[in-house]
Chains A and B, each alone.
Chain A
């Protein structure tokens, strides 16, 4: 009864003469806004407010505590200079080159492996219900757990190498985690192990969404399985690729804890990512301005990736 009345009020508020219901209808219009307002305000302050705050700090001379007098772009000048110090590598140079290596390999391998596993699982095999969660499960672990587990596994004195030596394969040698030139690849290994199952699940969902009629039509036209996937299935999965890319890109950029747990920074700081750099400089070295500047550069990098994506997505929607 009351719902009917309310619907009528909502549909035709101007015809209603009762003053009480005008208030009520107005309240009803306002309610979503009121409910959303706190989280909206919180986002404005805690996300965008602090982004502006960080940008402001990066132009000051802040050390242990924030200082409010603008002193110019000295922090950026230092970062810029460090960008080109490759021999011996400055911490910033190491961080950004590692970001390049890690980001590229992590995203590329996760996408390739995820797609491959999804295609295999999509062959209507028995026991898929058991296999799928096995691959997906690592995603439920935190980076810290993944990092510690892989740290032990890859440690030459404890894990894989030691075990194989005990089994008699004494010439086996795998010390990447202790090697300054290879330690970043161990971060890739652990990261891929964790995320590829999740990417597989995304692709699997995409594959299930493809219309079987298209596949049958292609098969009737004489397409081989390879051609089928190459020409039809993978192009149809394009939206999944984009979503997976965005998920992986942000995981890659924020994978601070994986580096800390797995390598504690690596030999001579050789496993640092920009997020490690930011934390070290802001909180351990009391160079808040430099830390803020590096955070701003990270933000700009992410923006450079996300904005074209959002642009293309939104344009497609409005078309």
Chain B
């Protein structure tokens, strides 16, 4: 009996090993880019890898979406069954790196010169303890205004340069009977807009201290109170039905001309493109008033796991292809974001994309490239969500004054640290 059991186990193990051997020429990828444009953009990467003889295998995720994927990843890693790479956001990469399950791509990084081409602010999340553990795919920035040009012409507005200009513009729209500001009342959208408000109100130095360093003095300062007051001002320009609306529905309001402007990250551009709108003629993209020259970013990364040696070649091929100039350009043209390296030519990008690339380069050189707190690039998820709670409660009236808001903010962030 015992002998049979031993033989069985041996057989099972040998099967497991042979299954491993089949993986060598395969890239196992966990991601949630399954919809139209994103899937098409990812196809470019699949083809690049196929040319080098590596097959692409999606790790199936039940239910789709980032949360489900992260839960699936947690289970895989806990079982010691690492994918070659996984789409990851911000602090997740660092969490996994701290748990010691990430691979090391430093050699490849040196050979390809990522240290120089990838902005330093991004390297905070792709390099852990001196080792490259992730390949950034793109850079999104959140301090954008998306404006319907027809409505803008109708009300005779011009690009707002300051927060007061912006308020005056919104007033004009209101007087013309258009919904001035399209907002989806979900906590991440409100907080994403508030990121820009803080940068506009307090300037780059203040944003960094408050939203990235979580400096308590800055968080409870009068500037922060002023930021909350400015947010409250903006919220008076939304339609009464905004609560709970999805971001793409808010974008659709701008596309259709029901609303003048949306404050949203550059993924909103994908919706304009899907509706066959052209920047400059159908819609306008401006930086959030008072934030020109600075960029609040978030970024998608491919986290690279510590796979067995025989699978490492496939991983290196994936990482190299991901950060190749051709893929960075092709992917980001579709995705609406800008390349994660600053030396990619902008020839294929539209006007907004070109501006985004130039802004990223300038912000990187001027030290004005900051992580978005709402998008989880300013602080770990616990803090980021505590921040979203406070902003959302302020927008919806559970928190009534800006004094109360800063007190709550300090308390919530302290609690979550």
A residues apposed to B, CB below 8 Å: 63-65, 78, 88-89, 91, 155-157, 175, 177-178, 180, 263-270, 280, 283-287
Contact = CB atoms under 8 A, between A and B. Distances in A.
Given A180-B397, A287-B382, 19 more contacts: A65-B74, A88-B398, A88-B408, A175-B241, A178-B243, A180-B396, A180-B398, A267-B243, A267-B244, A268-B389, A268-B396, A268-B398, A269-B187, A269-B392, A270-B398, A283-B70, A284-B67, A285-B416, A286-B382
A268 B385 contact: no
Nearest to A180: B396
A268 B244 contact: no
A196 B397 CA distance: 34
A266 B381 contact: no
B203 interface: no
A301 to B, nearest CB: 23
13 contacts: A63-B95, A64-B99, A78-B415, A91-B389, A155-B241, A180-B396, A267-B396, A268-B187, A269-B187, A283-B70, A284-B381, A286-B95, A286-B382
Interface string B309-325: 00000000000000000
Interface of B: 67, 70-71, 74, 78, 92, 95, 99, 185-187, 240-244, 380-382, 385-386, 389, 392-393, 395-400, 404, 408, 415-416
B138 to A, nearest CB: 23
Contact of B244 (A78, A264, A287): A264
Contacts of A284: 67, 381, 385
B404 A286 contact: no
Q: List the 9 closest A-B pairs by CB distance, nearest first.
A: A268-B396, A267-B396, A178-B243, A268-B393, A267-B243, A268-B392, A88-B399, A64-B95, A157-B241
Nearest to B95: A64
B42 to A, nearest CB: 25
Nearest to B399: A88
Contacts of A65: 74, 78, 95, 99
Max count, chain A CB within 10 A of own CB: residue among B70, B74, B99, B243: B243
A270 B67 contact: no
A88 B393 contact: yes
A285 B188 CA distance: 13
Contacts of B415: 78
A175 B389 CA distance: 22
Nearest to A157: B241
A270 B397 CA distance: 11
B244 A266 contact: yes
A152 to B, nearest CB: 12
Contacts of A63: 95, 382
Max count, chain B CB within 10 A of own CB: residue among A156, A264, A285: A285
Given A268-B397, A268-B398, A284-B67, A156 B244 contact: no
Contacts of A157: 241
B382 A269 contact: no
A89 B398 contact: yes
